[in-house]
């Protein structure tokens, strides 16, 4: 049973999360895994708790994506 974890910034649009869940599940179905066996967990993380290149995402990406 596949378990996929996705981390996104807090405030990611619910429609986009639904899209990801649907299409990631479909990718597994295409390789013969039953849809009911696919688990997907989406974690929302505040930009202030996520860093890239030694810098907080809340600073580095202040004008990008959810939570801007």
Q: Which residues are catalytic?
A: 2
Q: Which of 39, 44, 38, 42 is nearest to 57 (CA)?
A: 44
Q: Which of 4, 1, 2, 6 is nearest to 43 (CA)?
A: 6
Helix (H, G, I), strand (E, B) or coil at 25: helix
What does the DSSP 8-state code read for residue 8? Answer: E
């Amino acid at each position: 049973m596949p378990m996929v974890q996705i981390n996104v910034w807090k405030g990611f649009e619910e429609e986009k999360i639904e899209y990801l869940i649907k299409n990631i599940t479909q990718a597994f179905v295409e390789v013969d895994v039953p849809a009911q066996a696919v688990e997907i967990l989406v974690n929302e993380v505040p930009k202030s708790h996520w860093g890239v290149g030694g810098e907080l995402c809340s600073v580095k990406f202040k004008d990008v994506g959810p939570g801007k």
